[in-house]
């Protein structure tokens, strides 16, 4: 058990307060607000009672720095958190602890491509891919339904409560990859999901310097995931866990600016003739707007748009001064990624733009100028 405290979702505090105080210990004179990372592989053991005398025995099994972070994320998500070395490690744990040969998994055809690649290699598991926006088939004889909402990179959204009810009626578990939303954007467990998985590498930690993943569930399911982590060793380093916990205090502030930037950029892109499509669930005309408006507490700072081809997209990225060409998303610096270069089955000119915390007007001027330069070069 952890000795950390701090307001969580049930505390009645607002998002900024909950994020700033999540998982912090009781105040002690002379101690820091957030204790530093504990670097240890083995710990001292009691010669007589061994590991039963204390929580810490060996570094692969537990670490007080992990427990503090788990208390923080668990408080924000509303469940028991288990942290992993990456988002893919968390997804792997969720799938491999609940699926066996003969089982059927339903998962998004438009979600993160590496999750689909992993599922395709599960021995004896039947995988049914369904677009995030549906329609969904009956879940009869399905063991697990994995959703990703908003989907990456297309940003479609599905109704978690509706699909949770349908999955449970058929005897299936429902898991949600909530990476894009973060726990301040939506709370899948409150909407009926059994399990939440996410990459903490993205907006949760938000400084483009940490690889981390987590899963959150009720205690019984979380216990199975924790045992899996112990057996397989997909553990985060204590410094990464500490950096992630440190970053949570600004989560609300970062998301607020990123979402505001995304709203302005989506409107700008929607008025450009060379932009073939724009997806951001906050736009009133977006196909995901209706579900996102009633399900999500805030819309994330990711905008996906399509330019005519790969060359046009490359010219745009080269012309932009404030946009870094980089994969991943959710950082404090605006970045963009042409997703087809990774093998995603998307148009060659599709760009996933991750809005940072720069001034909105500066970003709009930069993007408009880069679009003009890219279009002018194409015309020439």
How does DSSP classify residue 319? Answer: H
Task: Give the span between the Cα atoms of 109 and 128, in whole angstroms.
Answer: 9
Do 331 and 364 lie in one domain? The reply is yes
Q: Does a structural domain hold residue 2?
A: no
Does position 149 have pLDDT exceeding 70, yes or no? yes
Q: Does a structural domain hold residue 4?
A: no
DSSP 3-state of 77? helix
Q: Does a structural domain hold residue 3?
A: no
Q: Which ranges of the chain does DSSP label H, i.e. alpha helix?
A: 15-21, 64-77, 87-96, 113-120, 160-169, 219-232, 238-248, 251-270, 289-295, 310-319, 360-379
Of 5-9, 34-38, 42-46, the poorest mean pLDDT is in 5-9
pLDDT at 344: 87
Query: What is the tens place of the pLDDT at every residue in 290-304?
Result: 999 999 999 999 999
Residue 158 · residue 118 · CB < 8 Å: no
Containing structural domain, residue 222: 9-248
Do 81 and 122 lie in one domain? The reply is yes
Do 238 and 358 lie in one domain? The reply is no
Sheet holding 126-130, edge to edge: 80-84, 213-217, 195-199, 173-177, 144-148, 104-108, 126-130
Last residue of a domain, one of 214, 248, 282: 248
Does position 11 have pLDDT exceeding 80, yes or no? no
Query: What is the tens place of the pLDDT at every residue in 265-286?
Result: 999 999 999 999 999 999 999 9
pTM > 0.75 = yes
Do 244 and 256 lie in one domain? The reply is no
Last residue of a domain, one of 228, 248, 268: 248
CATH number at residue 215: 3.40.640.10
Q: Does a structural domain hold residue 202?
A: yes
pLDDT at 6: 52
CATH number at residue 373: 3.90.1150.10
Q: Does a structural domain hold residue 1?
A: no
pLDDT at 1: 32
The 10 Å Cβ neighbour count of residue 31 is 10
pLDDT at 7: 55
Q: Which residues contact 337 (CB under 8 A, 6 or more apart)?
A: 153, 325, 326, 327, 328, 329, 351, 352, 354
pLDDT band at residue 53, thresholds of 50, 70 and 90? confident
Q: Does a structural domain hold residue 160?
A: yes
Do 228 and 337 lie in one domain? The reply is no
Do 187 and 234 lie in one domain? The reply is yes
Report DSSP letters for 253-318, one per residue: HHHHHHHHHHHHHHHHHHT-TT--EEE-TTSTTSTTHHHHHHH-SS--SEEEEE-SSHHHHHHHHH
pLDDT at 51: 83
Task: Give the span between the Cα atoms of 180 and 44, in whole angstroms.
Answer: 40
Do 231 and 285 lie in one domain? The reply is no
Do 237 and 264 lie in one domain? The reply is no
Cα–Cα distances in angstroms (integers) from residue 141 to residues 123, 246, 276, in the given order: 17, 43, 40
Last residue of a domain, one of 202, 228, 248: 248
Which of 139, 218, 180, 143 lies closest to 354 in space, CA to CA? 180
Q: Does a structural domain hold residue 258?
A: yes
pLDDT band at residue 310, thresholds of 50, 70 and 90? very high
Mean pLDDT of 257-272: 98
Mean pLDDT of 244-264: 98
Query: What is the tens place of the pLDDT at every residue in 74-98?
Result: 999 999 999 999 999 999 999 999 9
pLDDT at 2: 36
pLDDT band at residue 176, thresholds of 50, 70 and 90? very high
Number of domains in the chain: 2
Do 67 and 182 lie in one domain? The reply is yes
Do 341 and 226 lie in one domain? The reply is no
Do 272 and 335 lie in one domain? The reply is yes
Q: Does a structural domain hold residue 193?
A: yes
Do 149 and 294 lie in one domain? The reply is no
């Amino acid at each position: 058990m952890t000795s950390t405290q701090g307001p969580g979702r049930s505390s009645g505090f607002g998002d900024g307060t909950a994020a700033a105080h999540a998982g912090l210990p009781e105040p002690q004179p002379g101690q820091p607000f957030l204790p530093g990372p504990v670097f240890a592989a083995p710990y001292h053991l009691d010669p007589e009672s061994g590991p039963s005398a204390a929580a810490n025995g060996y570094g692969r099994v537990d670490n007080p720095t992990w427990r503090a972070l788990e208390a923080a994320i668990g408080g924000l998500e509303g469940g028991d958190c288990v942290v992993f070395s990456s988002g893919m490690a968390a997804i792997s744990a969720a799938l491999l602890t609940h699926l066996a040969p003969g089982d059927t998994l339903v998962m998004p055809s438009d979600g993160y491509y590496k999750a689909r690649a992993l599922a395709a290699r599960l021995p004896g598991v039947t995988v049914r891919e369904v677009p995030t926006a549906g329609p969904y088939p009956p879940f009869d004889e399905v063991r697990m339904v994995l959703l990703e909402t908003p989907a990456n990179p297309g940003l479609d959204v599905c109704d978690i409560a509706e699909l949770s009810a349908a999955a449970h009626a058929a005897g299936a578990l429902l898991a949600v990859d909530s990476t894009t939303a973060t726990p301040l954007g939506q709370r899948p467990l409150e909407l009926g999901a059994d399990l939440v998985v996410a990459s903490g590498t993205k907006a949760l930690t938000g400084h483009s310097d940490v690889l981390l993943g987590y899963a959150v569930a009720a205690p019984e399911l979380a216990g199975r995931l924790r045992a899996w982590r112990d057996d397989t060793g997909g553990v985060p380093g204590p410094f990464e866990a500490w950096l992630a916990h440190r970053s949570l205090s600004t989560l609300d502030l970062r998301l607020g600016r990123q979402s505001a930037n995304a709203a302005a950029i989506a409107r700008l892109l929607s008025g450009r003739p060379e932009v073939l499509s724009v997806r951001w669930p906050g736009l009133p005309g977006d196909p995901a707007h209706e579900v996102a408006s009633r399900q999500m507490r805030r819309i994330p700072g990711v905008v996906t748009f399509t330019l005519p081809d790969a060359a046009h997209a490359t010219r745009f990225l080269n012309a932009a001064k404030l946009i870094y060409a980089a994969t991943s998303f959710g950082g404090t610096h605006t970045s963009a990624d042409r997703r087809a270069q990774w093998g995603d089955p998307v148009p060659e000119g599709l760009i996933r733009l991750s809005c940072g915390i720069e001034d909105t007007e500066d970003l709009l001027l930069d993007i408009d100028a880069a679009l003009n330069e890219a279009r002018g070069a194409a015309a020439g």
